[in-house]
Amino acid sequence: MKLAIAFLMLWAGLILEATLFQIPPMNVVHPGFVLVLLVLIALMRGPNTAVVMAVIIGLVEDISYGSFIGLNAFSYGLVAYFSGAVFGQFLRRNLAVTFINTLIMTFMYTWITYGLTRLFDVTADRPIFVLQQSLITMMINGLLVLMLYPLVTKLFSEGQRNRYDISGGDM
């Protein structure tokens, strides 16, 4: 059930990115709802779950809005894997680690997508422009993760496991 809720949240994030934040007063800010949610899911539920969800939502985004199929699926999958595998080794429910992880993964996602679009000659953006955009996106996603962290922690964290059963027994 929690995985269905996670996928619905990713879908809602994709819809918000594609609709609400494309309207002229709001199009100045481009929050990465999908990226932030994938990072949070990777930290809370592990890299395997996050990679599967990342590839599925990335393919949906590529088919619906992308310049070519596979760009976002590959980029989201790679970011979700590294987020869960590398940073999952640290404290999982720590806001500071989650915040730093989100900043690093946003930077990584921006440069992976830029590198692939540059490789296939889809974009003519200069690297300095991409650097500026990635820094702005990192700040926006950092604020977004600070807002979403309490909600996602309640929804996706597994219950505390006690080392010893203290509910009943002779002590």
pLDDT tens readout for residues 9-63? 999 999 999 999 888 888 888 899 999 999 999 988 889 999 999 999 999 999 9
The three-point CA angle 76-79-81 to 5° equals 105
- Residue 69 within a domain: yes
Amino acid symbol at 119: L
- Residue 51 within a domain: yes
- Residue 169 within a domain: no
Which pTM does this prediction carry?
A: 0.87
Distance (Å, whole) CA 64 – CA 58? 10
> Reduced to 3 DSSP states, what percent helix, strand and coil does the chain have, rounded to the nearest 5?
75, 0, 25
Domain that holds residue 51: 2-17+29-156
- Residue 164 within a domain: no
Per-residue pLDDT averaged across 117-133, rounded?
92
Confidence at 163, pLDDT banded by 50, 70, 90 = low
Q: How many CB atoms lie within 10 A of CB 31?
A: 21
Q: What pLDDT score does 159 carry? A: 57
Distance (Å, whole) CA 13 – CA 88? 23
- Residue 65 within a domain: yes
CA neighbor of 72 nearest in space, from 83, 58, 52: 58
Q: Which has more pLDDT, 157 or 76?
A: 76
- Residue 161 within a domain: no
How many domains is the chain built from? 1
What single-letter DSSP state applies at residue 158?
P
CATH code of the domain in which 33 resides: 1.10.1760
State whether residue 82 is helix, strand or coil. Answer: helix
Per-residue pLDDT averaged across 70-84, rounded?
95
pLDDT > 80? residue 162? no
**Stretch among 36-45, 92-101, 110-119 having the lowest mean pLDDT:** 92-101
What single-letter DSSP state applies at residue 24?
T
- Residue 106 within a domain: yes
Q: What is the mean pLDDT of the chain?
A: 88
Greatest mean pLDDT among 29-33, 102-106, 155-159, 165-169 lies in 102-106
Burial (CB < 10 A; 0-12, 13-18, 19+), residue 147, is exposed
User: How do residues 135-161 score in pLDDT, each as one tens digit?
Assistant: 999 999 999 999 999 999 888 766 555
**First vs last Cα of the chain: how many Å apart?**
37
pLDDT > 50? residue 171? no
Q: How many CB atoms lie within 10 A of CB 114?
A: 19
Distance (Å, whole) CA 105 – CA 120? 22
